[in-house]
Each structure stands twice: as C-alpha cells, then as structure tokens.
Structure 1
Amino acid sequence: MPETSAANPAPGFLKHPDHKITIEPCDQEVIVERRGHSLAKSRNALILREASYPPVLYIPRQDVALDRLTRLEDNTYCPFKGYASYWSLDGDKAAWSYEKPYDEMSTIKGHIAFYPEK
C-alpha cells in the first residue's frame, strides 16, 4: 500500500491494514483491442496487484479511445479503492476506473482498466 498523508483514507485499510495492494509501472506497451476496435495503446500503463486477484492493467485516460466507449450509470464500491465507474462497448461492460480513489490509491486516478476476459 502506498504511503500517504490520507486526507481521504480508505476505510478498508483502516480495518484491514495487512491487505496488500501494490502499483508499479508496466515495462511493456499495452494494446487493448475488442471486436476489431482499437481501444487503447500505452507505454505508461500501471500494474495493480491486490491480494490473490489476478494483476490488473490501468491505462492512462489519454491513451484510451473514450469516443468508442459509452459511459454507464453503474458504479460499485471497494473499501480499498473507492467508487468505480464503468464504460461499455456495443452494450457490454468493457472497462472501469476509480475517478476519485481513496488517497492510498491515488496513483490510479486518471487511469482506466479493461476486462481481460472480454
């Protein structure tokens, strides 16, 4: 978990201080394509690793073709990261981001993650 002065601390870390989340730069170019659509291309992606979950790539918003995605009204809550917003492609949920993450996860602000299985 990144250190921070935490003006907006994650309640998950307060209750579970041993929960481990790491964020580091990805050292490879990341390309996201789906159904013949190029959705993202970046050399500045981040890799988020959390507990036993598979790693997640977060791509800077400026490297994502947001004009090909539709913003959804859906959102979910994570006590470690905050509220997630979602985007779809052709009616299927395709991506998410934490637009106002808790301070400990501020590194992923301005980044979007795509569902790898889709």
Structure 2
Amino acid sequence: MTDTPDRPILQPGIDHPLELREIDDQVRIRVGDEELAGAAQALELREHTCSPVLYVRRSDIAPRFLQRSMQTSWCPYKGKASYFHIRLKDGSRLANAVWSYESPFAHIAAIKDRLAFYPDKVSVERLQATPA
C-alpha cells in the first residue's frame, strides 16, 4: 500500500460508532503453548458491526516475537495500520498476525503503538480480575 493524500478520512458517528475503553481484566496472549504475554493490560475497541478487538501495549510483548511486515492497510476511521509477523521458538512464523496503528487519528489516539491480534492465528484470553 502506498501513502496517497486521496484516502478518505471519516469521523465516527451514529452510522459508524467507535467505542474505546479500558478493561478491568488482564489478557494472556498465546500461540499454542507459547506465551507472548502473561498478564497484559488492554483497551477494547468496539467498532460498528465488527467484533470487539483488544489492543495491548507493545511493551507487553517481548520484541523477539515481532517481525515487521511490509503489509499495511487503511481504515478511514483509524488511519494506516502496520503489520507484524510472529516468530516462534521453533523458527516458524505466523505471517501478518498482528497489526498496529502507529499514527492513528486524534479521535482514536489511545490505540497508538498498541497491538491487536487476529483471533484465528493467536489466542487472546481475558483473565478474570480478582475482587478486592
């Protein structure tokens, strides 16, 4: 994908709502029996008719797991997404399993540099918060 100034930029609204919130639960991220994050903080994004997506801080994932991809995509509500492959201990790689908005639009700035994972490639499990 090339950067072009003619891409649409849209604001969320009644016809396409975006709701971002911190969740109380931490999340565990795994590929098979390999743990990428044991107890990460996450933001949950609910967007229009899409399934909710959890975004974790990049610092919660060990850098050895991530390899930048050349793939990008464009969302008119969030901006340009960059992708990462996941490198596993056995040398295998899950292509473009992770995405991140490194310069999201102002109305969704809280997801900047956070990571989201494709659920068909990575297990993202919510850990129940323990009552105080």
- TM-score band, normalised by shorter chain: 0.7 to 0.9
Are the equivalent residues in 1 in contact too, given 2:28–2:39 (CA < 8 A)? yes
Whose strand proportion is higher, 1 or 2? 2
Taking the TM superposition and a 5 Å limit, the aligned residue runs for 1:40-59 are 40-59=37-56
> Are 1:39 and 2:31 an aligned pair?
no
| Structure 1 runs of 4+ with >6 Å offset | none
Map Cα deviations across residues 63-95 of structure 1 (whole Å, 9 max, x no partner): 112211211011000000000000112142211
Q: Which structure has the larger Rg? A: 2
> What is the RMSD of the two structures over their aligned residues, measured on CA atoms?
1.6
Question: Structure 2 stretches of 5 or more lacking a match?
Answer: 1-7, 87-92, 122-132
Are the equivalent residues in 1 in contact too, given 2:71–2:96 (CA < 8 A)? no
> Following the alignment from structure 2 to structure 1, what is the Cα–Cα distance between the partners of residues 94 and 21?
31
Whose helix proportion is higher, 1 or 2? 1
Question: Structure 1 stretches of 5 or more lacking a match?
Answer: 1-9
Match of 2:74 among 60, 74, 77: 77
Taking the TM superposition and a 5 Å limit, the aligned residue runs for 1:98-113 are 98-113=101-116
For this pair of structures, how many residues does the alignment match? 107
Are the equivalent residues in 1 in contact too, given 2:100–2:115 (CA < 8 A)? yes
How far did residue 36 of structure 1 move? Answer: 2.8
Residue in structure 1 matched with residue 9 of structure 2 by the alignment: 11
Alignment identity in percent?
A: 36
